[in-house]
Amino acid sequence: MGKSTLLNRFVGRKVAIVSDKPQTTRNRILGILTTDDAQVVFMDTPGFHKPHHKLGEYMIRVAESTLEEVDLVLYVVDATVPPGLGEEYILAQLRKISTPIILVANKIDAVRKNDLLPLLDWFSTRGNFLHLVPVSALTGENVDGLRRLIADNLPEGPFYYPADTFTDQPERFVAGEIIREKVLNLTREEIPHSVAVVVEEMQMRSNQVLYLAAVVYVERDSQKGILIGKGGRMLKEIGRLARQELEAIFGNRVYLDLWVKVKKDWRDDEAALRSFGYE
């Protein structure tokens, strides 16, 4: 849908990882935008979907509880895909909450203008929206307009965060997510969903190198083999891409120690979920 891309665009830096695979946002991710006259705290949540694991159930709970807590909901839809049962389901969920909702039709860079109006029409007859706003999170088209609408529709309140804060995520979590993003982008089918990353150590060494030790967990031995790759090539590539981005984010040279371990069927294992930070 582009929720994470949109969040990053609002905040002006990458706080949520982006992938072309569905259901990759697992936690609630906070992004903070501070302008001269407003502070907007965005919460990127997992999308609604039919859960097949305890992990999925956790993700749905995160999404549902967030809807009730916030002052405004952005319902982001993919304008390149005709709406169907999935959208009907979400619309039914949204009817249960009293939070005001803005419908965001994303990816307008990839649709013909003529197709946009019927799409907005379809949604406007099925939901009660404050506004229906077409944007492209990728190119930034109309994101400023959306930002103004958001600020105009938020209640007055204090700034909750210092102006130079962009997220509430601890650095370890950020680092783990960056590594997970590289895995998502280099693998297919079940693997992206079977991967969890835990950063076990993160410390500045005396030679000004940031040392990071992380474990990439998978669910089966066969997946471990794929992640390591022939002659360790896959893991090396994951490490190379992750290190590049971690160095840019933390502004330091990074030494990344990556390990792959199997935790059988962890997505249905309460204790494993907790220890991986999904609770």
Ligand X SMILES: Nc1nc2c(ncn2[C@@H]2O[C@H](COP(=O)(O)OP(=O)(O)O)[C@@H](O)[C@H]2O)c(=O)[nH]1
Q: Which residues in 72-160 belong to E strands, given as ranges?
A: 73-78, 101-106, 131-134
Rounded Cα–Cα distance for residues 131 and 124 (Å): 9
Rounded Cα–Cα distance for residues 123 and 118 (Å): 9
106 binds, among ligand X, Mg ion, none (CB under 5 to 8 A by kind): ligand X
Using CB under 6 A as the criterion, what x/- string covers residues 42-61 for binding ligand X?
-----x--------------
Closest to 250 in 3D by CA, of 13, 4, 3: 13
Rounded Cα–Cα distance for residues 250 and 210 (Å): 9
Residue 81 sits in the site that holds ligand X (CB under 6 A): no
Closest to 174 in 3D by CA, of 30, 21, 76: 30
Largest pairwise CA distance in the chain: 62
Residue 142 sits in the site that holds ligand X (CB under 6 A): no
Q: Which of 97, 110, 204, 248 binds ligand X (CB under 6 A)?
A: 110
Rounded Cα–Cα distance for residues 75 and 101 (Å): 7
Residue 136 sits in the site that holds ligand X (CB under 6 A): yes
Task: Give me the residue label for tokens 């160095």.
Answer: 247
Binding segment for ligand X (CB under 6 A), chosen from 48-56, 106-114, 208-216, 232-240, is 106-114
Give the shortest CB-104-to-ligand X separation in angstroms.
Answer: 10
With b meaning 16 or more CB within 10 Å and e meaning fewer, what string describes 185-202? bbbeeebbbbbbbbbeeb
Q: How large is the C-alpha radius of gyration of the chain?
A: 20
Give the shortest CB-19-to-ligand X separation in angstroms.
Answer: 5
Q: Which of 10, 11, 25, 184 binds ligand X (CB under 6 A)?
A: 25
Give the shortest CB-122-to-ligand X separation in angstroms.
Answer: 19
107 binds, among ligand X, Mg ion, none (CB under 5 to 8 A by kind): ligand X
Residue 9 sits in the site that holds ligand X (CB under 6 A): no
Give SS3 for 198. strand
Residue 45 sits in the site that holds Mg ion (CB under 5 A): no
Is the CB of 19 or the CB of 66 nearer to ligand X?
A: 19
Is the CB of 20 or the CB of 164 nearer to ligand X?
A: 20
Q: Which of 25, 106, 167, 187 binds Mg ion (CB under 5 A)?
A: 25
Contact residues: ligand X, CB under 6 A: 1-5, 18-20, 25, 47, 106-107, 109-110, 136-138
Contact residues: Mg ion, CB under 5 A: 3-4, 25
